[in-house]
Structures are given as structure tokens and as C-alpha cells.
Chain A
Amino acid sequence: AQKVTQAQTEISVVEKEDVTLDCVYETRDTTYYLFWYKQPPSGELVFLIRRNSFDEQNEISGRYSWNFQKSTSSFNFTITASQVVDSAVYFCALRTTDSWGKFQFGAGTQVVVTP
């Protein structure tokens, strides 16, 4: 069975601080895909990034960076120099190749950035 754990329920930071969101996943499949989504206070779910199990290359995109480590089954997400607009709930999700496209979502981490 697939499982995604986001142990951090809420993280509060002051603007310009860095924020790292943890995501730990469980799957027996050797081919799988990991995702991060952002849900701002307006409520929509916005796709941020996708990684497949064969690509452990970490990525930086502007103030966002991702750290994928298969050895520890983790797919962590960092916001550098946080801004108030980063305040949102962030979801990590896992999809395996035999899941008919279904995702297993984590419970989400609320990020609160105060000025």
C-alpha cells in the first residue's frame, strides 16, 4: 500500500526566513512519481513540481528547491527567503504506475509567513 506522511502540521516563519517542508513516502513499487501542490487561501490547488523515481536530481526554481532522496524515501521542499504570498497549505502526493492515475496525498502542511 502507498502512504505519504507530512509530519509537520503547521510551520510559522517571519518573512525572509527559509522554510523546509518534509514529505516521507512508502511504496513497494520501483517506478513512481512524486508531486508537490500549493493551496493558497483562495482555495485552488496549484501544481508545483513532479519527480519520477528515476530522477534524483535536485532542482532549484527561483526561491523553490526540492530534495529527492530515494534512500530515505523523502521528497522535501524548501522555500528560500519566504514571502507573505507563500502562505498556503502544501501537499505532497505519490502516484505509482499501477494506480490508474490515482494519487495518494499527504495531509498537508500549513505555512504561515508573517511580515
Chain B
Amino acid sequence: NAGVTQTPKFRVLKTGQSMTLLCAQDMNHEYMFWYRQDPGMGLRLIHYSVAEGTTAKGEVPDGYNVSRLKKQNFLLGLESAAPSQTSVYFCASSERQNRGGTGTQYFGPGTRLTVL
């Protein structure tokens, strides 16, 4: 039981390049989330998904796209990276709260992205 995993762990991009971050969870959780963490800013929600095939915008969605084609995977895409997207990205998953789940979010180890 690996919990939540993220690929890659580190990445350096040049401005304008694109990339996809992969999040995978093996806990059969309904909900999945992408956050970014910047110094002094805490955790900010980028996008989230409450079910396979469904995604929604969070607090800071601009410049990112997501997809949830499989229940266990949640992909975060940067189509044209900008230096402002330099950050640490965390994925999290949780049970669906109205089915008796605790709603506790479990986090992946993070991806450190630098955009030059």
C-alpha cells in the first residue's frame, strides 16, 4: 500500500515548456486535489476532482489544466510554464465524506518544480 505517489520528484523547465505531473493513489479514494506551496503562502488549491471524469477549479487554477481519466490517477498539466509557477506541488486524496469517510486528506511527497 503505497498511499499517494507523485512523479516526478524534481523537474527544471525553461519558460514556455510544457509538462505533466502525475499523481496516483491506491486507497480507492473518491476525491483528489492538487496544491502548490510557496514560501509564506501556505497551501493553495489549484484544481480538484470529486469523481473519475470530473474536475473543478480551486483557488489558483490559471495556467494549469487537470484530468482524471482513471479513479486512481490525477494529472496536472502546465501547457506553457512560467517562472511564477516555480513551486512545490502536492497531490492529496481523501474518502468521500458523505459515505462515512473521515475526509482526511493524505498527501503525496511533493514535486519540486523550477521554471527558468
Enumerate chain A interface residues (CB-CB to B < 8 A): 33, 35, 37, 43-47, 50, 91, 93, 95, 97, 100-103, 105-108
Are A100 and B105 touching (Cβ within 8 A)? no
A-B Cβ contacts below 8 A, count: 58
Give the residues in chain A near B104, CB-CB below 8 Å: 35, 47, 50
Interface size on B (CB < 8 Å)? 27
Question: In the complex, which residue of chain B has the Cβ closest to the Cβ of A107?
Answer: B42
Give the residues in chain A near B102, CB-CB below 8 Å: 33, 50
Which of B58, B105, B110 is packed against the most chain A CB atoms within 10 Å?
B105
Are A101 and B43 touching (Cβ within 8 A)? no
Are B45 and A107 touching (Cβ within 8 A)? no
CB within 8 A of A43: which of B33, B58, B105, B109? Answer: B109
Enumerate chain B interface residues (CB-CB to A < 8 A): 30-31, 33, 40-43, 45, 48, 50, 56, 58, 88, 90, 92, 94, 96-98, 102-107, 109-110
Are A101 and B97 touching (Cβ within 8 A)? yes
Are A100 and B56 touching (Cβ within 8 A)? yes
Are A102 and B58 touching (Cβ within 8 A)? yes
Are A100 and B48 touching (Cβ within 8 A)? yes
Are A101 and B42 touching (Cβ within 8 A)? no
Give the residues in chain A near B50, CB-CB below 8 Å: 100-101
Are A101 and B103 touching (Cβ within 8 A)? yes
Give Cα A47 to B94, complex, Å.
12
Are B88 and A43 touching (Cβ within 8 A)? yes
